[in-house]
């Protein structure tokens, strides 16, 4: 007789059932397995003598507090006891709290969800006996947005990765994991599933541990790495966690993440004034081109933007906040010239690196140190053998460190009055295997979020309307910055084709954050050939950014057609934040293929009504394409359609239509005029069409005209 209740939830055409007596959870659809595994917590522990132990929880009792709330009493062998509160929600499962009391002083090496001690038979079959336990989360595959590179990958079959530690937070290469730069992490979540559905799981708060998805052979678990065997534990007898786990599920990978993220509050609204187009100097700086006057003239001539971002190398050293007058002898004059040409400036800043701590009154006690008490060194790749340009890392536990970050930020804002700070390398900090902040409350994923918060608070105090540019899809971070940057695509792969594929995926995943009110800047990679496709998706995603220098490594430069698309986006882009995606022709990906979006749109809510305000349309073969969601619009080729007010594209007073390839566009409606904009004089416009007797307007574009026409404005009666 089963004395313990099963916990069941039916949602999204799937059934989740957790047999608490056996600790076996199953998510299935029409009897087919989507995901299975255990859910009770387990621990790697260390006693006062350094002896390591492993223990997984056993349920001693389940108390039903209500129809949706359970109190589960736990035993951990002879080591301790605890309790777990579980809430069932319409969207899934919430572990609201976990408390553990140890019978003897105990340090936590790692907390796991999804592991069990191996039986004797399982030990005989295990590929490694390094540890007595093994992960037991099982599914057809994994979904981790843009975690793979060259080309970008978001999906894997369950056996593709072998033994891997996939970062879900800010540590990445610092944990010896796959390098995929920053975006779109921090995710604080992972997804598992396949053709029948997907389960997404992660914490409900930013954890004080390094968060990773650990893969072993063909199974996985969630790892919270503490390494208190190396570092002083905050409490050796009692620990508690708030919301250590949430689970939500959906039909595809995007839907699973979306449903999980929708369980978090929407961030405060972001000002449309913070959505600024930019040209970043990194494309030039990384090639040793440091002539700011030449860069400004090229930007003015070819790619005018709201601001120019001075990337890494503008300072005497990372985190000095002092312009490098040796590298830029006319720095002040060049900055004044940028402003005279109509550009605001933004400044790159490392979140936690410092190169000359003693020059700023900082000592070893203000830095992240190893067990030996010596400051750790780090760089973007984590390479200790062949790397160069190592950095010291700041410990926010120190009041001197916090004061330094605050005063440096205030000084930069006061002296240079930037429109934005572009923060970087939150993932470039050592992990708990080698170092942690001295304050236990700031350890793990909280290290990066605390540094981010210190800098943001100081910048906003000095200049309330300054924009903070960072990355990360998870809603828990979004109160700490304003604009998500889709990074520079250098890690997508060393080819124009791979950059286009990677940027396409990143745009899809960025919609997760857009639904939470974030502004998004799409940026570029290092190949001019990708620019048109990037700009076409930018029409939906947000504002345009450019990291390319004068010429790419293939010798290509900006073409006239690309320049006109850039001008059009700058002229007619959507200004605001907060939108939901309209999927017209999109593949969300699965274990057999990567996601790709072809035609899609942007839905904004105004006065409580959802309105389609922007479209990116692609169709190259066969008859005209018609989508059921877009009655009255037919097309061939590639077009961006952008409403110039807050009405739907089918009712707005002015509708911008930007061609990206040769094609034909027909729109039904009562139009007073169609205005054509040409580049001969960028302000020049001429009326070319009105609605025909059947109530249609048709515009066409040839390949040659792409070098002449910026776009069309449809003006309604």
Predicted confidence (pLDDT) at residue 550 exceeds the cutoff of 70: yes
Query: What average pLDDT does this structure show over 664-686?
Result: 82
What pTM, to 2 d.p., does this model score?
0.96
Query: What average pLDDT does this structure show over 109-125?
Result: 97
pLDDT at 148 (0 to 100): 86
Which helix (H) or strand (E) covers residue 449, if one does? helix 446-462
Selection from 559, 539, 536, 558 nearest residue 548 by Cα: 558
Confidence of residue 682 (pLDDT cuts 50, 70, 90): low
Which is more confidently placed, 599 or 319? 599
Question: Is the CA virtual torsion 136, 139, 140, 143 positive or negative?
Answer: negative
Beta bridge partners of 370: none
pLDDT at 717 (0 to 100): 80
Query: What average pLDDT does this structure show over 621-649?
Result: 95
Distances (CA, A) of 562 to 87, 303, 575, 710: 53, 9, 21, 10
Q: What is the pLDDT of residues 177-201, one digit of tens each?
A: 565 557 888 999 999 999 999 999 9
- Which residues are within 8 A (CB) of 251 and not within 5 positions of it... i.e. 6 or more apart? 12, 13, 197, 198
Query: What average pLDDT does this structure show over 135-147?
Result: 96
Predicted confidence (pLDDT) at residue 466 exceeds the cutoff of 60: yes
pLDDT at 575 (0 to 100): 85
The two three-digit tokens of residue 183, written as one number? 């975006």
Mean pLDDT of the chain: 93
Cα separation, 467 vs 574, in Å, equals 17
Q: Rounded to a whole number, what is the largest CA-CA distance in the chain?
A: 89
Selection from 598, 493, 523, 526 nearest residue 149 by Cα: 493
Predicted confidence (pLDDT) at residue 207 exceeds the cutoff of 60: yes
Predicted confidence (pLDDT) at residue 454 exceeds the cutoff of 90: yes
Query: What average pLDDT does this structure show over 116-131?
Result: 95
Cα separation, 655 vs 678, in Å, equals 17
Beta bridge partners of 202: 246
Selection from 210, 206, 191, 189 nearest residue 243 by Cα: 206
In the block, residue with structure tokens 């890690």: 491
Confidence of residue 176 (pLDDT cuts 50, 70, 90): low
Confidence of residue 613 (pLDDT cuts 50, 70, 90): very high
Q: What is the pLDDT of residues 344-361, one digit of tens each?
A: 999 999 999 999 999 999
**Percent of the chain residues topping a pLDDT of 90:** 85
- Which residues are within 8 A (CB) of 34 and not within 5 positions of it... i.e. 6 or more apart? 14, 27, 28, 139, 193, 194, 196, 197, 198, 199, 249
Q: What is the dihedral of CA 156, 160, 163, 167, to 10 degrees?
A: -20
Cα separation, 57 vs 40, in Å, equals 6
Cα separation, 71 vs 53, in Å, equals 26
Query: What average pLDDT does this structure show over 588-616?
Result: 96
Confidence of residue 1 (pLDDT cuts 50, 70, 90): very low
Q: Please check whether residue 691 is in contact with residue 669, taking contact to mean a CB–CB distance below 8 angstroms.
A: yes
Confidence of residue 686 (pLDDT cuts 50, 70, 90): confident
Least confident of 226-235, 321-330, 682-691: 682-691
């Amino acid at each position: 007789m089963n004395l313990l209740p099963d916990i069941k939830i039916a949602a999204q055409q799937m059934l989740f059932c957790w047999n608490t007596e056996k600790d076996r959870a199953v998510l299935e659809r029409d009897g087919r397995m989507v995901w299975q595994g255990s859910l009770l917590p387990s621990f790697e522990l260390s006693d006062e003598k350094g002896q390591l132990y492993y223990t997984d929880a056993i349920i001693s009792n389940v108390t039903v507090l209500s129809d949706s709330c359970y109190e589960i009493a736990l035993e951990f062998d002879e080591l301790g006891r605890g309790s777990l509160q579980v809430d069932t929600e319409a969207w899934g499962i919430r572990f609201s709290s976990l408390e553990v009391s140890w019978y003897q002083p105990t340090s936590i090496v790692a907390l796991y969800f999804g592991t069990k001690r191996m039986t004797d038979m399982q030990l005989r079959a295990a590929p490694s006996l390094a540890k007595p336990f093994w992960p037991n989360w099982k599914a057809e595959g994994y979904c981790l947005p843009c975690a793979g590179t060259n080309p970008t990958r978001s999906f894997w079959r369950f056996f593709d990765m072998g033994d891997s530690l996939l970062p879900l937070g800010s540590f990445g290469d610092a944990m010896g994991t796959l390098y995929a730069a920053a975006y779109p992490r921090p995710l604080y979540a992972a997804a598992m599933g396949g053709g029948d559905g997907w389960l997404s799981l992660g914490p409900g708060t930013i954890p004080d541990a390094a968060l990773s998805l650990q893969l072993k052979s063909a199974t996985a678990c969630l790892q919270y790495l503490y390494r208190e065997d190396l570092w002083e534990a905050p409490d050796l007898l009692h620990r508690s966690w708030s919301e250590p786990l949430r689970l939500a599920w959906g039909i595809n990978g995007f839907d699973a993440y979306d449903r999980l993220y929708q369980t978090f509050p929407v961030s405060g609204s972001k000002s449309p004034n913070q959505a600024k187009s930019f040209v970043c100097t990194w494309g030039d700086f990384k090639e040793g081109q440091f002539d700011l006057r030449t860069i400004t003239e090229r930007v003015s001539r070819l790619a005018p933007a709201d601001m120019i971002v001075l990337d890494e190398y503008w300072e005497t050293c990372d985190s000095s906040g002092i312009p490098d007058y040796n590298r830029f002898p006319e720095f002040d004059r060049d900055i004044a010239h940028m402003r005279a040409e109509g550009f605001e400036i933004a400044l790159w800043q490392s979140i936690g690196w410092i190169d000359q701590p003693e020059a700023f009154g900082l000592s070893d006690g203000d830095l992240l140190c190893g067990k030996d008490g010596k400051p750790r060194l780090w760089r973007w790749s984590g390479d200790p053998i062949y790397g160069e340009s190592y950095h010291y890392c700041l410990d926010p536990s120190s009041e001197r460190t916090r004061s330094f970050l605050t005063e440096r930020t205030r000084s930069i804002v006061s002296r240079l009055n930037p429109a934005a700070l572009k923060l970087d390398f939150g993932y470039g900090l050592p992990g708990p295997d080698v170092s942690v902040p001295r304050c236990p409350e700031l350890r793990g994923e909280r290290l990066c979020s605390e540094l981010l918060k210190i800098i943001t608070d100081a910048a906003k105090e000095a200049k309330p309307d300054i924009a903070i540019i960072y990355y990360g899809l998870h809603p828990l971070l979004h109160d700490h910055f304003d604009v998500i940057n889709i990074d520079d695509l250098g890690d997508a792969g060393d080819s124009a084709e791979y950059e286009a594929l990677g940027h396409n995926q990143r745009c899809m995943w960025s919609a997760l954050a857009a639904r939470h009110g974030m502004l998004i800047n799409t940026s570029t990679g290092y190949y001019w050939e990708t620019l048109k496709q990037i700009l076409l998706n930018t029409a939906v995603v947000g504002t345009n950014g450019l990291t390319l220098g004068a010429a790419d490594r293939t010798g290509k430069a900006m073409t006239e057609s690309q320049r006109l698309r850039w001008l059009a986006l700058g002229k007619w882009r959507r200004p605001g934040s907060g939108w939901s995606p309209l999927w017209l022709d999109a593949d969300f990906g699965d274990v057999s293929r990567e996601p790709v979006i072809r035609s899609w749109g942007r839905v904004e809510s105004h006065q409580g009504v959802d309105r389609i305000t922007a479209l990116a349309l692609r169709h190259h073969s066969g008859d005209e394409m018609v989508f059921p969601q877009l009655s009255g619009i037919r097309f061939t080729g590639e077009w961006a359609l952008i409403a110039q007010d807050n009405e739907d594209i089918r009712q707005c007073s002015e509708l911008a239509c930007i061609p990206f390839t040769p094609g034909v566009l027909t729109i039904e409606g009562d139009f007073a005029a169609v205005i054509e904009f040409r580049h001969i004089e960028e302000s020049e416009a001429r009326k070319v069409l009105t609605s025909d007797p059947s109530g249609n307007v048709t515009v066409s574009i040839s390949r040659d005209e792409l070098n002449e026409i910026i776009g069309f404005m449809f003006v309604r009666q």
